[in-house]
Structure 1
């Protein structure tokens, strides 16, 4: 039986074998406040690296999702950013406005080392 796609996504907790050596350079980092006021804009920075940025080895995209507390169907896709090797570094800043607490998820795709996940919980007051 084929694996579920979610089983193919690497996280710091599930990385094993050779993937363990890639955790620091492939897990998306999310810089955001731990808590925000409902309806008040704030910035979230997502970045990966240090990581090569060549045609042969690079981060090709970053996706950002939000799992909102109490929402019947999650997650909400916030953004998908295509990254052109050699021209764009794997870093993006988004301005978010949340009404409810939840978890921000960032996925990134490395053309050699697969899809990696990072996450950060944000409380809304």
Structure 2
């Protein structure tokens, strides 16, 4: 079964980078430009994983995660990989407190990114043999 990953980032180039890597690895992707768009998307269609930027207009990533974690299960339990250019421990702690499963600092090497995606989606990358 193909896993669906929702990419939530206001930067078009970043969304394209993630989308291309994920699709080449066999994942289905969807995109949102901020947390509000992401919540609207998830209320209509579930995702298996969220890639969440921290700094976005309208609704930032941490506000989005806090709102998501208040939703009913199974939506509230959707794994989230938070990405940001912010590398201080206080930023990582804030993301974890908001509900992030993992936190990666941008720029992220594609192989590392895909390893975390596979881990959060429950195993080997989509195209890999199990």
| Pairwise same-fold verdict (TM > 0.5) | no
Which structure's relative contact order is higher, taking Cα pairs within 8 Å and 6+ residues apart?
1
TM-score bin (small chain): under 0.3
Q: Which structure has the larger Rg?
A: 1
TM-score between both structures, scaled by the size of structure 1: 0.27
TM-score between both structures, scaled by the size of structure 2: 0.26
By percentage of residues, which structure has more strand?
1
By percentage of residues, which structure has more helix?
2
